[in-house]
């Protein structure tokens, strides 16, 4: 592998740049085009954000290992990368599950689609979710450093998805 190290580095760098560029374009188009502010496009936007998250969790570390001579990773970095890749996968499957429900409602209940998938039903739930996270973080602020870190690792991906959702509504 030593002989092809720079080739692999170049391929993965081009791949990472393409992933970032394509996902940023998708997010930008959905955010700026008001006609795309619908549930399915919001979910596509979330997939793009999650794609950025997952590729950033994996590829920069891979590029660093390919560029450095002793290809080693610290235990903390390895654990962080494992956590990020697992949360990426969980979020990806969750979004895909919600997308399949969205399509189910659109196909099986087309006349009720806008009632079932409306923002007016989602926004109160969104406020409750934000309140719940604020409460969790407030309680954790009073506890140990380990509990604080655990709460942040658990809540951060969800908060990013919620923030993305709120921005796409505006």
Where are the chain's structural domains?
A: 1-111, 118-170
From residue 116, how far is each of 101, 102, 162 by CA, in Å?
Answer: 11, 9, 19
Instruction: Please give the CATH architecture assigned to the domain spanning 1-111.
Output: Up-down Bundle (1.20)
Does the predicted TM-score (pTM) go above 0.75?
no
pLDDT digits (tens, 9 = 90+) for 3-31: 888 899 999 999 999 999 999 999 999 99
Supply the angle between the helices 5-32 and 145-169 in degrees, to the nearest 10: 50
Total length of the chain: 170
Cβ–Cβ < 8 Å for 113, 106: yes
* Dist. CA 157–CA 170, nearest whole Å: 21
Q: Between 153 and 43, where is the model more confident?
A: 43
State residue 169's pLDDT score: 47
């Amino acid at each position: 592998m030593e002989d092809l190290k720079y080739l692999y580095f170049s391929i993965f760098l081009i791949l990472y740049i393409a992933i970032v560029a394509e996902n940023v374009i998708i997010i930008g188009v959905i955010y700026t085009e008001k006609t795309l502010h619908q549930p399915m496009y919001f979910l596509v936007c979330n997939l793009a954000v999650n794609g950025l998250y997952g590729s950033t969790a994996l590829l920069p570390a891979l590029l660093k290992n390919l560029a450095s001579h002793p290809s080693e990773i610290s235990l903390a970095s390895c654990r962080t990368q494992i956590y990020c890749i697992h949360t990426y996968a969980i979020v990806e499957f969750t979004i895909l599950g919600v997308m399949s429900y969205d399509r189910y409602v659109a196909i099986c209940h087309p006349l009720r689609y806008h009632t079932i998938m409306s923002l007016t039903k989602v926004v109160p739930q969104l406020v409750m979710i934000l309140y719940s996270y604020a409460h969790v973080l407030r309680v954790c602020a009073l506890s140990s450093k380990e509990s604080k870190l655990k709460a942040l690792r658990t809540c951060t991906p969800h908060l990013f998805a919620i923030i993305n959702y709120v921005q796409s509504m505006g």
